[in-house]
Amino acid sequence: MVTRDILSRRAVSIQLYGYGVLLVCIVGDEVFDIPHTVFGFPATPINWFEAGFEGVLVILLGLVSIVL
């Protein structure tokens, strides 16, 4: 029998996985310069501030969604 506790743990783990994938995509875009690699746009240097700022926002959003 599936209890509410098991369902809520599954939901939280799915959310954590999703936010983790989003975080990897954000940092991967900055490091691997996806627009340059895929579409041939001009190369840009790695912007660590932007990656960090967006990463912190994703983490905060994840925390808010999990706590609520």
Query: What does the pLDDT look like over 33-65, one tens digit per residue?
Result: 999 999 999 999 999 999 999 999 999 999 999
* In a domain? residue 9: no
**Dihedral-angle region of residue 58 (phi above 0 means left; psi in -120 to 50 means alpha; beta otherwise):** alpha
pLDDT in tens, 3-18: 888 998 999 999 999 9
- Name the pTM for this structure: 0.79
**Which residues, 6 or more positions from 51, have their beta carbon under 8 angstroms from its beta carbon?**
26, 27, 30, 31
Residue 56 within any structural domain of the chain: yes
End-to-end CA distance of the chain: 25
Count of structural domains, the chain: 1
Closest listed residue to residue 18, CA positions, set 66, 67, 50: 66
Distance CA 33, CA 22 (A): 16
- On whether residue 38 sits in a domain, the answer given is yes
Its domain, for residue 53, covers: 18-67
